[in-house]
Amino acid sequence: MNPIPNDPVEPLVHFFETLSPASVARMGEFYAVDTWFKDPFNEVQGLAQVQRIFNHMYVALERPRFVVTAQVVDGLQCFLTWNFEFYFRRRGPQQLQTIRGASHISFNEAGLVTRHRDYWDAAEELYEKLPLLGSLMRWLKKRAGT
């Protein structure tokens, strides 16, 4: 594996753990212009598109934040596990929500992110928490388990 001159993982983790609406504009310090990003709802190419997704997060959710719980680094790639904490805006900020997931991130030789793939279970981690859809998802999960 090729070592990266300056380890980009710790600064990237710090960036995500302190992410704010204002700092989304700084993603170019960590991501290549032609970066690729995928999560359960999006698949985009380009830094501007990734920034659009993260900017939307601050419109749709109340007080979103990432807490990185573990990391495995291997040359030009890393795997991060994380908790994404937030409050629903429409239901009121009474109950903290948590999505547990992981990211597989690849870096170029300059230490910039070229690929970022998030893995998390949308059904369990999100849909089950919604009022009407949640009841249906829990019922389907229970039926599938019997």
How confident is the model over 66-82, as pLDDT tens digits?
999 999 999 999 999 99
pLDDT of residue 89: 79
32, part of any domain: yes
90, part of any domain: yes
CATH classification of the domain holding 112 = 3.10.450.50
55, part of any domain: yes
Q: How many domains does the chain fold into?
A: 1
- The set of residues, in sequence order, having a beta carbon less than 8 Å from that of 108 and lying 6+ positions away, is 32, 76, 114
Q: Is the pTM here over 0.85, yes or no?
A: no
pLDDT, tens digit (0-9, with 9 covering 90-100), for 39-61: 998 999 999 999 999 999 999 89
Domain boundaries, position 13 = 9-120
Q: How confident is the model at residue 135 (pLDDT cuts 50, 70, 90)?
A: low
61, part of any domain: yes
